Amino acid sequence: MREVSAQVSAEKSKAERRHLHHEADVVIIGGGVVGCAIAVALGRQGRSVILLERSLKEPDRIVGELLQPGGCEALRKLGMEDCLEGIDAATVKGYQVIYHGAGVHIPYPPNAEQNTKENAEGRAFHHGRFIQKLREAVKRTPNVTIFETTATDLVRNGWTGQVLGVEAQTQGQKDYYFGHLTVVADGYASKFRKGNLQNQPIVKSKFFALELIDADMPNPGHGHVVISDNPPVLLYQIGSHETRALIDIPENLPSASVKNGGVKGHLRNVVIHDLPKSVQPSFEKALDNGSLRSMPNSFLPPTTNKVPGLLIVGDALNMRHPLTGGGMTVAFNDAVLLAELLSPENVPHFGDTGLILKQLSTFHWRRKHTSSVINILAMALYALFAANDPQLKVLQLGCFRYFCRGGPYVDEPVGLLAGIIHHPLILFYHFFAVAFYSIWILLSNSKASHLPIAILQSFAVFYKACVVIFPFIFAELRR
Amino acid sequence: MAAAVDASFTSPAANADMGSSVTNSSGIVGTILEGMNGWTIAITLFAMLVIYDQLKYIYNKGTIAGPSFKIPFMGPFLQSVNPKMEEYIAKWNSGALSCVSVFHKFVVIASTRDMARKVFNSPSFVKPCVVDIAHKLLRPTNWVFMDGKAHVEYRKGLNGLFTRKALELYLPGQEEVYDQYFARFVELSRENAGKPAPFMAEFREAMCAVSCRTFVGHYMPDEAIKKVADDYYMITAALELVNFPVILPFTKPWYGKKAADMVLDEFAKCAAKSKVRMAAGGDVTCILDGWVKSMIESKIYREKVEKGIEVPSEEKPSMVLRDFTDFEISQTLFTFLFASQDATSSACTWLFQVMADRPEVLDKVREENLAVRNGDRSKRFDMDMLDRMAYTRAVVKEILRYRPPVIMVPYIAKQDFPVTENYTVPKGSMVIPSVYPALHDPEVYPEPDTFDPERWITGDAEKQAKNWLVFGTGPHYCLGQTYAQLNLMAMIGKASIELDWQHQITPLSEKIKVFATIFPQDDCPLVFSKRP
Predicted confidence at residue A4, as pLDDT, reads 58
- Find how far residue B156's CA is from the centre of its chain: 20
Instruction: Identify the domain boundary among A298, A322, A346.
Output: A298
* CB neighbours of residue B169 within 10 Å: 19
Is the per-residue pLDDT at B512 higher than 60?
yes
> From the CA of A139, how many Å to the nearest CA of chain B?
24
* CB neighbours of residue B416 within 10 Å: 13
CA-to-CA dists, residue B257 to A363, B138, B215, B237, B295, angstroms: 33, 9, 21, 11, 30
Q: Which whole number is the average pLDDT over A38-67?
A: 96
CA distance A193 to A186: 10
State which residue of chain A sits closest to B330, comparing Cα positions: A159
Instruction: Judge whether B21 lies within some domain.
Output: no
Strands (E), A59-197: 66-67, 90-92, 94-99, 102-107, 122-124, 144-148, 150-156, 163-170, 173-184
The mean pLDDT value of chain A amounts to 93
B224, B217 Cβ separation under 8 angstroms = no
CATH of the domain at B152: 1.10.630.10
pLDDT in tens, A101-138: 999 999 999 988 888 889 999 999 999 999 999 999 99
Count chain A–chain B contacts defined by CB atoms under 8 A: 57
**Chain B positions in Cβ-Cβ contact with residue A17 (cut-off 8 Å):** 218, 221
| A330 and A461 part of one domain | no
CA distance A218 to B186: 76
Is the per-residue pLDDT at B2 higher than 50?
no
| A441 and A317 part of one domain | no
Instruction: Judge whether B119 lies within some domain.
Output: no
**Chain A positions in Cβ-Cβ contact with residue B277 (cut-off 8 Å):** 176
| A412 and A290 part of one domain | no
State which residue of chain B sits closest to A179, comparing Cα positions: B221
Instruction: Identify the domain boundary among A266, A283, A298.
Output: A298
| A183 and A225 part of one domain | no
User: Does B478 belong to an annotated binding site?
Assistant: yes
| A44 and A136 part of one domain | yes
Is the per-residue pLDDT at B97 higher than 90?
yes
CATH of the domain at A329: 3.50.50.60
> From the CA of B488, how many Å to the nearest CA of chain A?
27
Predicted confidence at residue B205, as pLDDT, reads 92
Q: Is A2 on the interface with B (CB under 8 A)?
A: no
CA distance A202 to A199: 9
Q: Which whole number is the average pLDDT over B328-352?
A: 94
Predicted confidence at residue B18, as pLDDT, reads 43
CA distance A439 to A398: 8
Residues 6+ away with beta carbon under 8 Å from B126: B119, B411, B412, B413, B414, B417, B431
What is the ipTM, given to two decimal places?
0.87
Across the interface, of B221, B268, B280, the residue whose CB is closest to A157 is B268
Q: List beta partners, residue A235.
A: A224, A245
Predicted confidence at residue B7, as pLDDT, reads 39
| A50 and A136 part of one domain | yes
Predicted confidence at residue B68, as pLDDT, reads 82
Phi, psi dihedral angles at B146 (to 5 degrees): -70, 160
A252: left (phi over 0), alpha (psi -120 to 50) or beta: left
Is the per-residue pLDDT at B101 higher than 90?
no
Instruction: Judge whether B227 lies within some domain.
Output: yes
- The reply to whether residue A160 touches residue B277, judged by beta carbons under 8 angstroms, is no
The mean pLDDT value of chain B amounts to 89
**Chain B positions in Cβ-Cβ contact with residue A173 (cut-off 8 Å):** 280-281
- The reply to whether residue B276 touches residue A162, judged by beta carbons under 8 angstroms, is no
Q: Which whole number is the average pLDDT over A241-263?
A: 91
Is the per-residue pLDDT at B86 higher than 60?
yes
Range of the domain at A319: 2-57+128-197+302-369
State which residue of chain B sits closest to A309, comparing Cα positions: B269
Instruction: Judge whether A278 lies within some domain.
Output: yes
Q: Is B330 on the interface with A (CB under 8 A)?
A: yes
pLDDT tier, B313 (very low <50, low <70, confident <90, very high otherwise): confident
Is the per-residue pLDDT at B171 higher than 50?
yes
State which residue of chain B sits closest to A167, comparing Cα positions: B276
Predicted confidence at residue B389, as pLDDT, reads 96
State which residue of chain B sits closest to A180, comparing Cα positions: B221
| A142 and A45 part of one domain | yes
CA distance B114 to B95: 13
pLDDT in tens, B186-241: 999 999 999 999 999 999 999 999 999 999 999 998 889 889 988 888 888 887 76
Q: How many domains does chain A have?
A: 3
Angle among Cα A126, A129, A135 to the nearest 5 degrees reads: 140
| A355 and A292 part of one domain | no
- The reply to whether residue B280 touches residue A175, judged by beta carbons under 8 angstroms, is yes
Instruction: Judge whether B59 lies within some domain.
Output: no
Instruction: Judge whether A113 lies within some domain.
Output: no
B135, B324 Cβ separation under 8 angstroms = no
**Chain A positions in Cβ-Cβ contact with residue B268 (cut-off 8 Å):** 157-160
Q: Is B278 on the interface with A (CB under 8 A)?
A: no
A141, B252 Cβ separation under 8 angstroms = no
Instruction: Judge whether B1 lies within some domain.
Output: no
- Find how far residue B448's CA is from the centre of its chain: 25
CA distance B213 to A164: 19
- The reply to whether residue B281 touches residue A157, judged by beta carbons under 8 angstroms, is no
Predicted confidence at residue A213, as pLDDT, reads 95
Instruction: Judge whether A80 lies within some domain.
Output: no
Across the interface, of A157, A176, A349, the residue whose CB is closest to B269 is A157
| A328 and A308 part of one domain | yes
Please, is B360 exposed, middle or buried when counting C-beta atoms within 10 Å of its C-beta (0-12, 13-18, 19+)?
A: exposed
> From the CA of B138, how many Å to the nearest CA of chain A?
15
| A145 and A263 part of one domain | no
A233, A295 Cβ separation under 8 angstroms = no
Instruction: Judge whether B510 lies within some domain.
Output: yes
CATH of the domain at A217: 3.30.9.100
Residue predicted with more confidence, A15 or B137: A15
User: What Rg, from alpha-carbon coordinates, does chain B have?
Assistant: 29
- The reply to whether residue A23 touches residue B221, judged by beta carbons under 8 angstroms, is yes
| A133 and A265 part of one domain | no
> From the CA of A77, how many Å to the nearest CA of chain B?
31
> From the CA of B324, how many Å to the nearest CA of chain A?
10
**Chain B positions in Cβ-Cβ contact with residue A157 (cut-off 8 Å):** 265, 268-269, 272, 326
- The reply to whether residue A158 touches residue B276, judged by beta carbons under 8 angstroms, is no
Tell me the longest C-alpha to C-alpha distance in chain A: 90
CA distance A193 to A199: 8
Is the per-residue pLDDT at B462 higher than 90?
yes
Is the per-residue pLDDT at B5 higher than 50?
no
Predicted confidence at residue B131, as pLDDT, reads 77
pLDDT in tens, B121-159: 999 999 988 777 888 888 888 888 888 888 888 888 898
Residue predicted with more confidence, B313 or A310: A310
Predicted confidence at residue B21, as pLDDT, reads 43
Range of the domain at B517: 139-430+439-530
> From the CA of A346, how many Å to the nearest CA of chain B?
18
Across the interface, of B218, B224, B227, the residue whose CB is closest to A21 is B218
Residues 6+ away with beta carbon under 8 Å from A12: none
Of all residues in chain A, the percent with pLDDT exceeding 90 is: 86
Q: Is A303 on the interface with B (CB under 8 A)?
A: no
pLDDT in tens, A396-455: 999 999 999 998 999 999 999 999 999 999 999 999 999 999 999 999 988 888 889 999
| A326 and A360 part of one domain | yes
pLDDT in tens, A341-399: 999 999 999 999 999 999 999 999 999 999 999 999 999 999 999 988 899 999 999 99
Q: Which whole number is the average pLDDT over A71-76?
A: 97
Predicted confidence at residue B469, as pLDDT, reads 96
Instruction: Identify the domain boundary among A259, A279, A298.
Output: A298
**Chain A positions in Cβ-Cβ contact with residue B327 (cut-off 8 Å):** 158-159
Predicted confidence at residue B419, as pLDDT, reads 92
Is the per-residue pLDDT at B260 higher than 90?
yes
Q: How many domains does chain B have?
A: 1
